[in-house]
Amino acid sequence: MQSLHTQETDVYLAEDLAKDLAHLMEPYQNEKVFVVTDENTQKLCFPIIEKVPGISADRCIVIGAGDEHKDTASLIRVWEALVEGGATRHSLLINLGGGMPCDLGGFAAATFKRGIDFINIPTTLLAQVDASVGGKTGINFKGYKNEIGSFMQAKHVLVDISLLKSLDEANLISGFAEMIKHAYLKSNEFLDRTLAFDIRNPDWQELTELVAASIIIKDDVVTADPLEKNIRKALNLGHTIGHAFESLALKRHRPLLHGYAVAFGMVAELYLAHAKLGFPMDLVDQLSLYTKRVYGVFEYSAADFDYLYETMTHDKKNQSGRMNFTLLRQPGDVAINTHCEKDEVVAALNYYLTSNI
């Protein structure tokens, strides 16, 4: 396996997933090892690691697939399985799956006996470049995204690009949205390369290079600010409005893939960046056209503005009653804690609507 030489999170590119995992598990050969996965990943990916010494189907904890299962009921299910399976403070938890099992399993590990080691094996592009790296863990609560959680770094993250070949197109391009976000944080040049990549018909070698670069961009930000007191807020680009879109979609019982929500949210937030900080309007329009072509359109109306805004008031970047956004002056030039008034947020929501008519 190839180390990415990341600083905050110990990330490897797998060459032989089972063999590489067995190596990382060597310090736990005398301890009980548990696996958290969801119904889909259990069928598709668990068989790849099932015969690794120390892994047992009896200690595989299966939760429902989908973000609607990233909740207290699933969390309690994991805790109960750890207790009933005889887990100790020296046990290991392996989170095998997309962003949801990585987030929820990481939070279960962070809180069980005040913290046990865990390894993330992200099986989706979204999880590989985002949820599995950086130490954020958590669950949704009362309809709000990631309302309950903690910071705890995975002991290791093992990324296997070959797992992405089994993804459907929707989940592949969902993850690519987070890579686009990282490109905006890096530079114009990397943004151009990322937007030029054909994610629907990927060149797997180039995608491997882009994934590695994307992980390193995130790790650099996390290393500078592990607990999100300052510059780590840059990683929230597109997420304040994007999370509100996700909440509206869940309210309608039509869940929206996270990456799609981030893509749509970035369009609106780049418009905010233009209005507040002079971000180039041609780049706002460029992303608007790109997302329409690749991700489609998120449908809502002016009647939803109040609900969307109210949802944004729960965003963790807000302070002292002020709504704060992560915005850009230019690609690579980030402005965190940018305060925006309600009428400015509504104007951004309206831009998204009118740009997609």
* Judgement on whether residues 151 and 205 belong to the same structural domain of the protein: no
- Among the candidates 126, 147, 166, a domain finishes at 166
* Judgement on whether residues 318 and 184 belong to the same structural domain of the protein: yes
* Judgement on whether residues 69 and 185 belong to the same structural domain of the protein: no
Which tokens go with 96? 């095998």
* Judgement on whether residues 162 and 192 belong to the same structural domain of the protein: no
Give the Å distances, CA to CA, from 270 to 9, 18, 214, 296, 345: 29, 42, 20, 18, 11
CATH number, domain with residue 260: 1.20.1090.10
Q: Which of 335, 318, 219 is nearest to 269 (CA)?
A: 335
Please state, in angstroms and rounded to a whole number, the distance separating the CA atoms of residues 12 and 2: 5
DSSP label at residue 73: H
End-to-end CA distance of the chain: 48
DSSP label at residue 322: B
Give me the pLDDT at residue 99, please: 84
Count of domains forming the chain: 2
* Judgement on whether residues 332 and 222 belong to the same structural domain of the protein: yes
* Judgement on whether residues 254 and 339 belong to the same structural domain of the protein: yes
Residue 178's domain comprises: 174-355
Give me the pLDDT at residue 323, please: 85
Give me the pLDDT at residue 356, please: 76
Give me the pLDDT at residue 8, please: 77
- Give every residue of the chain whose pLDDT is below 50, as ranges: none
* Judgement on whether residues 337 and 188 belong to the same structural domain of the protein: yes
Which tokens go with 268? 């609106």
* Judgement on whether residues 237 and 119 belong to the same structural domain of the protein: no
Instruction: Extract the runs of DSSP E, i.e. beta strands, from the chain.
Output: 2-3, 11-13, 33-38, 60-63, 92-97, 117-122, 136-141, 144-151, 156-159, 324-330, 333-339
Please state, in angstroms and rounded to a whole number, the distance separating the CA atoms of residues 345 and 339: 10
Give me the pLDDT at residue 3, please: 85
* Judgement on whether residues 229 and 87 belong to the same structural domain of the protein: no
Could you tell me the pTM of the whole model?
A: 0.87
* Judgement on whether residues 152 and 181 belong to the same structural domain of the protein: no
- Among the candidates 135, 166, 197, a domain finishes at 166
Give me the pLDDT at residue 320, please: 61
Q: What crossing angle do the helices spanning 305-312 and 239-251 adopt, rounded to 10°?
A: 120
Give me the pLDDT at residue 224, please: 87
What per-residue string of b and e applies to 166-176 under the rule 16 or more CB within 10 Å gives b? ebeeebbbbbb
CATH number, domain with residue 91: 3.40.50.1970
* Judgement on whether residues 144 and 232 belong to the same structural domain of the protein: no
Give me the pLDDT at residue 130, please: 86
Q: Which of 37, 10, 2 is nearest to 155 (CA)?
A: 10
- Among the candidates 99, 131, 166, a domain finishes at 166
* Judgement on whether residues 55 and 185 belong to the same structural domain of the protein: no
